[in-house]
Amino acid sequence: MAKEMQVKFAKYWEDYSIILAMGAIFDPRLKLQVLEKLYETLDPSTSSLKTKDLKTHLTTLYKEYQDRTWGSSSSSSTSYTPTPQDLVNESPLEDDLDSDLFELERSLGSNLGNTRTHLDVYLDEERLDRKSFPNLDVLNYWRENQARFGDLAMMARDILSIPITTVASESAFSIGARVLTPYRSRLLPKNVQALLCTRNWLRGFAEYEGTVEDVDDMCNEDARKNTTTSGVEGSRSEDSNVR
């Protein structure tokens, strides 16, 4: 049994969600340090590989937001076109000054790649204490720090707003048969069709043109009627026995 459970766990451990991991990183109480520790605790043999893969995806996605932010800002800015009058009024001294300023701006622009990004600043900051912030609203945290982190705050907002579905652990990690069968969860279309055909044959109803939800309501109504009828008949039999 332990071996089968290990195989089941390995299957889901290999298909871990990058989105969930990123959501944990954007929690200022967790960040990347906590995930690294958890990966190392759960599986030391693959922890470094998973951490590296997570960093790669995180950096790649952040660059997309950076490009989007710079692209929108550059497209919204209006370029200045000098008029002929401006060209006439320019002096040689102004030309030399403009040339020097242009060289200075170009040298500063070449060093932009060495500056720290918002992602680097956020990851290097100290984590918030979980005891001091037990009920932290993470989305509200990023909304309040929009001015500090800019494009990173936009990325965090999009990641944290993704709806996540869950499944019962008994159904996901069961080593036996499925816990929720089609008969216990919801009828399959072929089963609904078989029930409708049987109902028409037995009761002679005309072909029903409706939705599956309408059929479910009809079946539930019939079940309630049958329960009520059986209860009334049972009470009558008890009264007759008493008499």
pLDDT digits (tens, 9 = 90+) for 188-209: 778 778 877 887 777 765 555 5
What's the pLDDT score for residue 7?
Answer: 81
Q: With b meaning 16 or more CB within 10 Å and e meaning fewer, what string describes 53-83?
A: ebeeebeebbeebbeebeeeeeeeeeeeeee
Dist CA 25 CA 152 (whole Å): 12
CB distance 180 to 171 below 8 Å: yes
Domain residue spans in the chain? 2-74+90-172, 182-242
User: Over the stretch 10-20, which tens digit does the pLDDT of each residue have?
Assistant: 777 777 789 99
What pLDDT score was predicted for residue 87?
45
Q: Where are the alpha helices (H) located in 43-83, listed in sequence order?
A: 44-76
Query: pLDDT value at position 1?
Result: 76
Give the chain's mean pLDDT.
75
From the list 178, 180, 221, the residue with the least C-alpha distance to 199 is: 221
Q: What is the model's pLDDT at position 48? A: 92
Higher pLDDT pick, 107 / 147: 147
pLDDT value of residue 14: 76
Q: How confident is the model at residue 29 (pLDDT cuts 50, 70, 90)?
A: very high
The residue-averaged pLDDT of 40-59 equals 92
To which residue do tokens 């019939």 refer?
Answer: 222
Which tens digits make up the pLDDT trace of 158-189? 999 988 776 666 666 665 555 555 555 566 77
Among candidate residues 55, 53, 73, 75, the one with its CA nearest the CA of residue 65: 73
Greatest CA span in the chain, whole angstroms?
124
pLDDT given for residue 4 in this prediction = 80
Rounded to an integer, the average pLDDT of 29-40 is 93
Evaluate whether 5 touches 135 at the Cβ level (below 8 Å).
no
Q: What pLDDT is stored for residue 77 in this prediction?
A: 46
Q: What is the pLDDT of residue 63?
A: 94
Residue 130 pLDDT > 70, yes or no? yes
